[in-house]
Amino acid sequence: MKITIVYDNCFSREGLVTGWGFSCLIESVDTPPLLFDTGADGTALLYNMKELGIEPRRIGVIVISHAHGDHTGGLFSVLEVNKHTEIYLPASSAAIIPGRKVTLVREPLQVSEDIFSTGELKGIEQSLVVRTSRGIVVIAGCSHPGIRTILDIASCYGKVCGIIGGLHGFRDFACLDGLFLICPCHCTQHKAELRRFFPDQYVACGAGLELEL
């Protein structure tokens, strides 16, 4: 399974556009690519996709973590070029996109093979639970419901071994003990502390980062 950071505040590859927001692509052998969040700017998102060799027309599923503009801003730009993708939105967004298959997510559910939604937690945000060869990896947009809450739900699918994404307001470092991958992105406020506490597990996030799991 391959996870590519498409949009982030920072870059891992020269020549990509950065911006406040988050988006990543999940690819596996047997299922169409899944796009998680769409950043704040559609033009930048599509530019980065082109530079990374990502064909937006191939995306089979789009999952939006929560209805903040830095995670939804590129959605309609992708939909303009992709006429068939399924869309999973948190139920609180109550969005209707004419002509599209939209699932409003309240409870945990399976999105595609080996990829699950935590369900909408605390009425604001869903995260993804991804079953990889290394164990369960959580992908979060901003983690507004709290990392412990998200990890508790994710642990129902197996042993959690990694987390990728925004860790907004996060300081509960002890709850990450035992993970092999800690990749804080976007709105994470204490990256330096995370790098210091988890030097072997820490992976610097940025647009263009590719992880094989």
Query: Domain spans of the chain?
Result: 2-212
Rounded distance, CA 61 to CA 36, Å? Answer: 8
Q: What is the pTM of this model?
A: 0.97
The pLDDT value given to residue 18: 98
Whole-number Å distance between alpha carbons of 38 and 51: 16
- Tell me the average pLDDT of the chain: 96
CA 165, 68, 155, 170 torsion-angle sign = positive
Kindly indicate whether the domain formed by 2-212 is annotated with CATH number 3.60.15.10.
Answer: yes
Checking if the pLDDT of 204 tops 90, the result is: yes
For residues 6 and 211, the answer to whether their CB atoms sit within 8 Å is no
